[in-house]
Amino acid sequence: MKHMTLPDSVMTAPPLLTVENLSVTFRTDSGPLPALDGISLSIRPGETVAVVGESGSGKSVLSLAVMGLLPPTAELTASGLIFDGEDLQAMSKRTRRDLRGRDMAMIFQEPSTALNPVQRIGDQLIEAIRLHEDIPTPKARARAIEALAATGIPSPELRVRAYPHELSGGMRQRALIAMALIHRPRLLIADEPTTALDVTVQAQILDLIRDLARDNGTATLFITHDMGVVAEMADRVAVLYAGRMVETASASDLFESPEHPYTLGLLGSMPQLNQRGAAMLPIAGTVPDLRQMPPGCHFHPRCPFADHRCATQRPDLRPLAGNRRSACHYAPLLETLETRA
Amino acid sequence: MIARLLRRAGISLIVLAGVLLIGFLMLQVIPADPAVAIAGPQGTDDEIEAIRRHLGLDQPILLQFVWYISRVVTGDMGQSVINNASVSAELLRAAGPTIELMCAAMIWAVPTALALGILAALRRGGIVDRLVMAVSVMGVSVPVFWVGLLMIQFAARTRAFPIQGRGGPLWTAEGLSHILLPATALGLILVGPVARMTRTTLSDALHADHVRTARAKGASELRVVLNHALRTALLPIITLVGLQVGTLMGGAVVTETIFSWPGVGRLAVGSIITGDYPMAQGAIIFLASAFILVNITVDVLNELADPRIGSRS
Ligand SMILES: Nc1ncnc2c1ncn2[C@@H]1O[C@H](COP(=O)(O)OP(=O)(O)O)[C@@H](O)[C@H]1O
Ligand code: SF4
Ligand SMILES: [Mg+2]
């Protein structure tokens, strides 16, 4: 697992990004929709933090909130949103925009639609370069070709003239990665960058993101619903359920002893763990409607550990031994299991 | 792309042949006999018979059609039965003012519609948005002759602008003031549909993934809207404007008639009223060919605007 290789300096450096008590509510025709509720997390320079959760748990909303790309229907509140020592909420729109693409960049889930369909790949990269750097187009073109080459795209000097539809899905995602990393951003947000790709390409793209991020010293907020990908990429993990953070821990701790039944469930759908005979708890049911949350623990209708207390009393995200937190009344789970048995 | 265009041109040729056939048949079914018309009220039966033979009207209809086509292809569309003028020459003379009028209508209407549509898309539910929706509904339901007549009423009362005819070249004050009202009336046809199409396609495009990518790159809002969202929304707008040129030509016929604008439209209407059938036929063929040509042009523009079209087929 990746965290083993992280130098100590990373663990003690001040955070690059701090999110404190972030909530996002959408105004919709059928009333307010609380997509995120009280999220706190931080990323240190060079670190990779994975955000996991089922579809609809608020992962994309979190990444858009950090990028400052939420739609106008979204209402954001946070007691802190600090990037590189600067308060993102207090920033002018202009300053915030200057950060985007230069200091913080994003890769999206759908490479097939994330590129402008009527603009050549090269022109899209050149635009990304020239938005933040005043260099002549020919020079920018050379840089673009270089950046494409660094992502392993064959004959990049030809690809710059291609339109997106002339490239494969994997190629497009490489081009998008090249574009996102062109200014060596300090923070990269990757929102399910491999979900739309073939399994064989997935591994290559994961390797590429990890290698390029390491070479550039880029911190990564890696968003996925796939625990296998988390194991591949993450130093630390935050587990989201229905807009709330239910567990956060280092990747090694999380895989060794998950402290939230939902995390257990997510791990249960990982084939390797099943073969090892680890707890297999496929999560029954679906994510509840965010507008009509069940009282008590939001997970209780689906939780195999739930009892009467869970149905009425909402668990806080509380610290456990080691540098980790869980929002379950019955964490640490192992002790609970022993006393209940 | 070349093959596609050739195929498209082939189809257009077939359509054009159809138009010629209809134009030809029109002359066959009309009650008036061109020979009688040419001979005039004093013509004797012998004279009429001679003219008929001279025009080939006594030959089999199929043969007449072949001759007719070969004449049209060489630019000979016959003579006016009223004043013996060459139909082609008259048409060429009238084409200029019609093109002038249509361009003048589009030059203000398309940018206005685009601007209105963009504003409406950016502020959905706002004042401009509601205005655009109202204007586009109005534009559909209020016929151009009504608008034209209202303008003439207004202009006649205030004597603010000339309401009859063309005042010479557009770069003279006289020319400009003459084209103002007809161009305004004609252009109004376009504003509603184009503004509405811009609003719809642009608001869709603003939610597209690649537009979000552009924002994530740090592009300014203006750049995001114009270079990315509008650029991809442009395709259906270009298509619509192109198709509206057909409507515009129809509108030009009406506008020219109302404002006595010396164009092909007025020529067509005038010659139908006076029973000058060769002239009417020529004008109709001319308008139909122009329509086909415009459609091909729209196709080519589409292809240039969207690289995906060329490789799709
Ligand atoms: N623009 C929006 N308007 C209204 N609701 C939204 C919007 N974007 C996301 N949501 C809602 O927020 C919740 C979280 O969405 P999202 O962050 O996309 O989930 P994930 O990325 O984890 O699959 C979902 O219930 C979704 O319907
Ligand atoms: S608090 Fe109760 S319902 Fe919620 S996760 Fe823990 S055991 Fe399950
Ligand atoms: Mg998502």
Q: What is the pLDDT of residues B113-132, one digit of tens each?
A: 999 999 999 888 888 888 88
**A175 and chain B: CB distance < 8 Å anywhere?**
no
Give the pLDDT band of residue A11 (cuts 50, 70, 90). low
pLDDT at residue A10 above 70? no
A215 and A267 inside one domain = no
CATH of domain B87-312: 1.10.3720.10
Number of structural domains chain A divides into = 2
Residue A180 shares a structural domain with residue A58: yes
| Chain B contact set for A105 (CB, 8 A) | 216-217
Residue nearest to atom 1 of ligand 2 (CA): A328
- The answer to whether residue A327 sits within a structural domain is yes
* Residue-wise pLDDT tens digits, A191-244: 999 988 888 889 999 999 999 899 988 999 999 999 999 999 999 999 999 999
DSSP A118: T
The amino acid sitting at A218 is T
Is the predicted pLDDT of residue B285 greater than 50, yes or no?
A: yes
- Region of B312 please: left (phi>0), alpha (psi -120 to 50) or beta: alpha
Helix (H) or strand (E) holding A120: none
Give tens-digit pLDDT for B249-266: 888 888 999 888 999 999
Q: What ipTM, to 2 d.p.? A: 0.89
Question: Is A163 in Cβ contact with B307 (below 8 Å)?
Answer: yes
Q: Is residue A101 within 8 angstroms of chain B, CB to CB?
A: yes
Q: Which of the four pLDDT bands, split at 50, 70 and 90, describes residue B212?
A: very high
* Domain match, A90 and A156 both: yes
**Residue of chain A nearest B233, judged by CA positions:** A118
Query: What's the pLDDT at A269?
Result: 58
- Ligand 2 close to Cβ of residue A333 (< 6 A): no
User: Letter for the amino acid at A263?
Assistant: T
* Residue where a domain stops, chosen among A218, A241, A264: A241
Q: How far does the centroid of ligand 3 lie from the alpha carbon of residue A267, in Å?
A: 19
In whole angstroms, give the CA distance from residue B49 to residue B39: 10
Check if A119 contacts B (Cβ < 8 Å): yes
Q: Which residue from B minimizes the CA distance to A104? A: B216
Tokens at B67, concatenated? 């001759």
| Cβ neighbours, 10 Å, residue A246 | 26
The verdict on a CB contact (< 8 Å) between A113 and B305 is no
| Highest-pLDDT range among A309-313, B171-175, B186-190 | A309-313
Residue A253 alpha carbon to ligand 2 centre in Å: 19
Contact residues, chain B, for A132 at CB < 8 Å: 218
State whether residue A130 sits within 8 Å of chain B by CB. Answer: no
User: CB within 8 A of A240, min separation 6: which ones?
Assistant: A39, A51, A52, A53, A57, A58, A59, A62, A246
- State how far residue A86 is from chain B, nearest Cα, in angstroms: 18
Determine the pLDDT at residue A276.
Answer: 43
How confident is the model over A325-333, as a mean pLDDT?
92
User: B208 falls in which pLDDT band (50, 70, 90)?
Assistant: very high
- pLDDT averaged over every residue in chain B: 84
Pairwise CB contact (< 8 Å): A116 & B214: yes
A125-183 pLDDT, tens digit per residue, is 999 999 999 999 999 999 999 999 999 999 999 999 999 999 999 999 999 999 999 99
Nearest residue of chain B to residue A128 (CA atoms): B217
Does any CB of chain B come closer than 8 Å to the CB of residue A166? yes
pLDDT tens digit string along A296-312? 999 999 998 899 999 99
Domain coverage including residue A265:
256-340
Query: How confident is residue A272, by pLDDT bands cut at 50, 70 and 90?
Result: very low
Instruction: Determine contact: A106 vs chain B, CB below 8 A.
Output: yes
The answer to whether position A1 is within a domain reads no
**CA triplet A141, A147, A153: central angle to 5 degrees?**
110
Residue A266 lies in a domain: yes
Residue A98 one-letter amino acid:
D
Task: Measure CA B310 to chain center.
Answer: 27
Q: Report CB contact under 8 Å: B308, A115.
A: no
Q: Tell me phi and psi for residue B133, to 5 degrees.
A: -65, -40
Q: Where are the beta strands (DSSP E) in B143-276?
A: none
Residue showing tokens 């196709």: B299
Q: Please give the distance, rounded to the nearest whole angstrom, from the Cα atom of residue B184 to the centre of ligand 2.
A: 70
Mutate to test the pocket of ligand 1, among A22, A23, A25, A26 (most ligand atoms within 8 A of CB): A26
Q: Return the pLDDT at A9.
A: 61
Where is pLDDT greater, at B176 or B116?
B116
The pair of three-digit structure tokens given for residue A300, joined into one six-digit string: 């209780």
Claim to verify: residue A77 and residue A186 sit in the same structural domain: yes
* Predicted local confidence at residue A271, as pLDDT: 45
Mean pLDDT across the stretch A181-186?
95
Give dist(CA B28, CA B23) in Å, integer: 9
Mutate to test the pocket of ligand 2, among A330, A336, A339, A340 (most ligand atoms within 8 A of CB): A330
Regarding the beta carbon of A160 and ligand 2, being less than 6 Å apart is answered no
> Are A131 and B217 a contacting pair at CB < 8 A?
yes
Q: Give residues (CB < 6 A) around ligand 1.
A: A 26, 28, 33, 35, 53, 55-61, 71, 73, 290
CATH label of the domain that carries residue A70: 3.40.50.300
pLDDT score recorded for residue B68: 81
Burial degree of A275 (CB within 10 A; 0-12, 13-18, 19+): exposed
Distances (CA, A) of A67 to A56, A90, A201, B24, B218: 19, 14, 27, 67, 10
Q: In chain A, what percentage of residues exceed pLDDT 90?
A: 76
Which ligand 1 atom minimizes the distance to the CA of A63? 17
Residue A302 domain flag: yes
Q: What is the helix (H) or strand (E) element at residue A23, kind and residue range?
A: strand A17-28
